Chain A
Amino acid sequence: MKFFGINRLIGLILVLAILPLDSYAHGERAQQANTRMRTINWYDLEIGPKNVQVGEIVTVKGRFRASSQWPEEIPSIDDRVFLNVGTGGPNFVRLASNIDGVSGVQSTSLELGKDYSFETTLKARKPGRFHVHPILNVKDAGGMVGPGYWVEIGGSFEEFENSVETMLGRTVNLETFNLGSIAVWHIVWVVVGGAWLFYWIRQQPLLVPRMRKVDAAISRGDDPDSLITPTDLKVAIAFLTVTLLLIVGGFAWGEREAPITIPLRTAKTNMPADKPFPTSHVEAKVESATYRIPGRSFRMQLAVVNNGPATLQIGEFLVANVRFINPLVKTVTAIDEHDLVASEGLRIENGAIGPGQSKLIEVFAEDALWEIQRLTGMINDPDSIIAGLLFFYGDDGSREIVEIVGSMLPVFE
């Protein structure tokens, strides 16, 4: 059985190691660069408001595209996925979540190459400053972590309450739900168990004399069971009876307290089956791509065909959650110190593509974020496939999103 194995041990160690560290490291850079580029591309992400009081609402929403270049070795999203958030532990409670409007309480499955909207509604629970990320947990593959923003929660935890009403009309506070019964029953059993232990160990010294008597009985050829006195027997019968009666009584009490119960819910949620693949008026093909290590400079030659009605320019190149922005097309400034935006990181030569035009353009993406986000570690990965989303902006205000893929060659001089 899988859960008796070493992976449980590793899991436990990871849980213990991650619990306290969670608030400043969500493992966003831990995965191979390659994996981050070719799994989930998060965009249009909005997390806010960024300053709230305990009990107030924060939403995490945006879109993601599941890469059509998903690595074969990594289990895909067509089995089970769960839309999650990283908030450094339960510093928020999650009130609702959805993918394309379908509730995400249960897990679901998605399709590669498709584009999804998502939204998670959080309620601030504990004061502090927390890095909030969207995450897509993929079964057997782990969490695909999106970009994070800092959210500051003010106020005090004492003001937080989390009441829900059950179908039997009971209003319960989940923060302290049923703790009374849990404590009472544990105390009852500690008392009964303690009494049983006290009966036996009240006579001191205990072990050594009893061991002598057992040895003596054996060497005499007697039954050492004679150490158990008739009183011991009576006490044992009494304890057994009381214990069984308490169990039966407790069960009956539980049944009376919660007369209607249902099993845990585990159904998988199905997404609509007929969701179309994203379409675009642009075709873009990577002719060549190089990364100059000394200059942290990425250069890519693209063959672009514009089948649309507008003149297009590349405004953004999104790769592994890092946004390289073309300042001539749009202005995007970093929201906080960990925002993965290179506001002037994208430079295009021979950029504008008229309607019906097809041409070769040069794309330069230059920023320290290549290093900081360990994307250059790709050289150490078994393959050097680069993938990401290109955002084209039309002179009529339109936006076209194209996924590109190509082989990246390092340049060392």
Chain B
Amino acid sequence: MAASQDRLRLARYYERTVDVMLLTLIIFAVAGATIFVMSVTIGDWEFWADWKDRRYWPLAPVAALLVFPAGISAAFWQRFRLPISCTAVVLLYTVFRWVSSYINFHLFGGYPMSFVWPSVFIPLAIVIDCSLVITRSVFLTGLGGAFLWGLLVYPANWPLLAAFHEPLTYNGEMLTTADLMGFQYIRTGLPEYVRVVERSVLRTFGDAVTPLTAVFAGFVCTLVFYVSWIAGSLLNNQAWVKKV
């Protein structure tokens, strides 16, 4: 009797250890991979305040960021019915970004944090995780949650970003505060023209840039979510140890 109780206690202990290790390992690995991939793909939009425009910044970073959280969600949902991986990965990613901005760009690079702050993504992740619980459907989560992930990145960041788009006159020119910071805080290898931001083009929807980009980002993110989810569940079924 006593021996079997001991064994049960031991089993519980192992389970708890496995739990902590697995959770930490997976979340840290995925968040680490995310920050690396984000840095090499869409880094500059995230690094500099004067890259956060109305057209590319609300689209490229948010779509790229979804890849890993959506893929890992497939595993966590199918294995454990746990709707936490999006939030966990994005939260850790955000913390990493603060540390990396602070150390690399502020301490070493010398730029003010005001010029290199990370964007807000955590609420978008909560929306996806909640959608999974509420709909219990991958299809509907992609259609609803992932769409909102893309749609809401601009409004979610607006309280941080709006002040950077306030106009000022400088040497007789009108600039945003973000543009002025880009001019004043010297980047030797990153001149003004390399910014991939909205430029004047002939287009019909003059004033509707932001809402149009938001809706488009929503569609793109729905697609990214489905593709990542499929890739995630394939990998999950291939590589996961069947029984721990």
Contact = CB atoms under 8 A, between A and B. Distances in A.
B114 A175 contact: yes
Contacts of A216: none
A91 B187 CA distance: 11
B19 A174 contact: no
A335 interface: no
B138 to A, nearest CB: 11
B183 A261 contact: no
Contact of A193 (B60, B87, B195): B87
Contact of A167 (B126, B169, B194): B169
Given A137-B191, A193-B91, A260-B167, A93 B172 contact: no
Interface in A135-180: 135, 137, 139, 143, 162, 164-168, 170, 172, 174-179
B209 interface: yes
A205 B112 contact: no
A233 B41 contact: no
A8 B43 contact: yes
Given A201-B84, A244-B127, A179 B193 contact: no
B19, B80, B98, B209 pick with most chain A CB within 10 angstroms: B80
A76 interface: no
Contacts of B22: 207
Interface in A182-203: 182, 185-186, 189-190, 192-194, 196-197, 200-201
B3 interface: no
Interface stretch (A224-232, A289-297, A303-311, A344-352): A224-232
A255 interface: yes
Interface in A1-36: 3-4, 8-9, 12, 14-16, 18-20, 22, 26
A370 interface: no
Interface stretch (A79-87, A271-279, A318-326): A79-87
B120 A205 contact: no
Contact of A3 (B42, B95, B183): B42
B166 A261 contact: yes
A232 B191 contact: no
Interface of B: 12, 15-16, 18-19, 22-23, 39-43, 50, 52-54, 60, 78-84, 87-88, 90-91, 94-95, 98, 104, 108-115, 117-118, 120, 122-123, 125-127, 129-131, 133-134, 136, 152, 155-156, 158-181, 183-189, 191-200, 209, 244
Interface of A: 3-4, 8-9, 12, 14-16, 18-20, 22, 26, 80, 82, 84-87, 89-96, 103, 105-107, 126, 135, 137, 139, 143, 162, 164-168, 170, 172, 174-179, 181-182, 185-186, 189-190, 192-194, 196-197, 200-201, 204-211, 213-214, 224-225, 227-228, 232-233, 235-237, 239-240, 243-244, 246-248, 250-251, 253-255, 257-258, 260-268
- The 10 A-B residue pairs with the shortest CB-CB distance in the complex, in nearest-first order: A82-B191, A236-B133, A261-B165, A137-B191, A258-B162, A254-B158, A189-B122, A254-B159, A240-B130, A251-B155
